[in-house]
Amino acid sequence: MYGCPSCGKNLEVVFDLTKPLARRVRARRGCGLDRWRDVLPLRADTPSIPLLIGDTPLYDSAALAKDTGFRRVMVKDDGRLPSASFKDRASSVAILRALNLNRRRVVAASTGNAAASLACLSAAVGVRTLIFVPAAAPEAKIAQLLVFGATVFAVDGTYDDAFDLSVKATETFGLYNRNTGLNPFTREGKKICAYEIAEQMGWNVPEYVIVATGDGNIISGVAKGFFELKTLGLTRRVPRMIAAQSTRSNAIARALKTGRLRPVRATTVADSISVDLPRDGDLAVDYIRRSDGFAVEVTDAEILAAIPYLARKAGVFAEPAAACAAAALRRAARDRCIPRTASVLCLVSGNGLKDVKSAKTSIEKLSRPVPVNRKSALKHVEIFLKTGKTP
Ligand SMILES: Cc1ncc(COP(=O)(O)O)c(C=O)c1O
């Protein structure tokens, strides 16, 4: 079952967040996803995925703190997951649920990352994947799917068209569906990011967490994790959740202002967050409000500029969607919508190598290689070392 049988809306997994559960979480062992089994809806005999899902680095960036003026800025680099995006957290739990149900064929629609992660993790456990992507998805993302052995249907339409087709395929052929915002278990994998952040910060979570937002499933998942941690008595506060959105794909930002979730015509360069109607929009809005959070909208130019910004300040290479969170960090500093005294965490949800074309565009006006021949090369180096300039 995916949606609610009476209203059709997304379902949510609810745990009994009792003291014994908190004790079990405190006594956790192992690594990656397996360390958090007690707060995951998986049968005790569920196998492990033989890949490291989680345990991504959390960096304290003095350079970003200095540049933005915030007391503390942290970067959680989820581009380091097996398929190079945050989506591995969701796919892992969805695949394990499929195995719990004895289903060995999983279908998904995706702008790229969710599918790539599904294909990658499925390959590791021998599950077959069928993927619907918009034909315009970046080449590297489609290549990744094919490399991992997925069967790919490139739809001559938008992500929303791909989504609808995957749901029809699920109903028609009885497949297991991993779609974001449809399968309630994806959120369970995503919430583990909050558990990891809390653990890495000694259970003293940041005041603000910025998440690039399209469908709203990452932000609702991470927020769910923070709420669970607080209810379990493991942390003292829930960070204010900040949805970073492009002005060209801002349905959730609009819903936070108007109180109504309506489709937009999404056209942002950040393909992973280009969404007309957010599939997990209602819950995302609900969680953002409950955490006393808000949305920060940034232009596509700011998103592209944030790619080299984050790379040069923190050494982290983000794809455009992930860079949207860094762009929102900069804008929040400029607009003072987050106080200077705050600790802020910026979630980097996908690696920059996923979309090299956008990375190239992002540095077009900043720098380019210096053409040299073998004779003049060292002369140019000398000039650069003396003047700091290149021809
Ligand atoms: C790299 C990256 N960042 C952010 C998002 C946004 O996540 P959501 O659609 O759950 O809001 C996605 C979704 O595909 C993504 O791939």
Digit-coded pLDDT (tens) for 199-237: 999 999 999 999 999 999 999 999 999 999 999 999 999
* pLDDT value for 358: 94
Q: With respect to residue 331, please indicate whether it lies within any of the assigned structural domains.
A: yes
Looking at residues 156-170, what average pLDDT do you find? Answer: 91
**Would you say the CB of residue 79 lies under 6 angstroms from ligand 1?**
no
Q: With respect to residue 288, please indicate whether it lies within any of the assigned structural domains.
A: yes
* pLDDT value for 112: 82
Q: Which of 111-125, 288-302, 370-384 has the highest mean pLDDT?
A: 288-302
Q: Which atom of ligand 1 is nearest to the CA of 280?
A: 10
CATH of the domain at 275: 3.40.50.1100
For the beta sheet containing 176-177, the strands, ordered from the edge strand earlier in sequence to the opposite edge, are 151-155, 128-134, 105-109, 176-177
Q: Which two tokens stand for residue 200?
A: 């890495």
Contact 276, 263 (CB under 8 A): yes
Q: With respect to residue 23, please indicate whether it lies within any of the assigned structural domains.
A: no
Q: With respect to residue 264, please indicate whether it lies within any of the assigned structural domains.
A: yes
Number of domains in the chain: 1
Give me ligand 1 centre to Cα 247, in Å: 16
Looking at residues 158-168, what average pLDDT do you find? Answer: 90
Contact 122, 129 (CB under 8 A): yes
Q: Which atom of ligand 1 is nearest to the CA of 220?
A: 10
Residue 273: pLDDT over 80: yes
Q: Which atom of ligand 1 is nearest to the CA of 216?
A: 11
Pocket residue to mutate for ligand 1, from 215, 283, 353, most atoms within 8 A of Cβ: 215
Q: With respect to residue 156, please indicate whether it lies within any of the assigned structural domains.
A: no
**Would you say the CB of residue 217 lies under 6 angstroms from ligand 1?**
yes
Contact 115, 131 (CB under 8 A): yes
**Would you say the CB of residue 111 lies under 6 angstroms from ligand 1?**
yes
Which residues span the domain enclosing 198? 58-84+186-353
Q: With respect to residue 328, please indicate whether it lies within any of the assigned structural domains.
A: yes
State the pTM of this model.
0.95
* pLDDT value for 111: 67
For the beta sheet containing 240-246, the strands, ordered from the edge strand earlier in sequence to the opposite edge, are 58-60, 72-77, 343-348, 208-212, 240-246, 294-298
Q: With respect to residue 315, please indicate whether it lies within any of the assigned structural domains.
A: yes
Looking at residues 280-287, what average pLDDT do you find? Answer: 96
Alpha-carbon torsion, ordered 356, 156, 106, 90, to 10 deg: 40
Start-to-end Cα distance in the chain: 63
**Would you say the CB of residue 214 lies under 6 angstroms from ligand 1?**
yes
Alpha-carbon torsion, ordered 156, 161, 164, 165, to 10 deg: 0
Q: With respect to residue 152, please indicate whether it lies within any of the assigned structural domains.
A: no
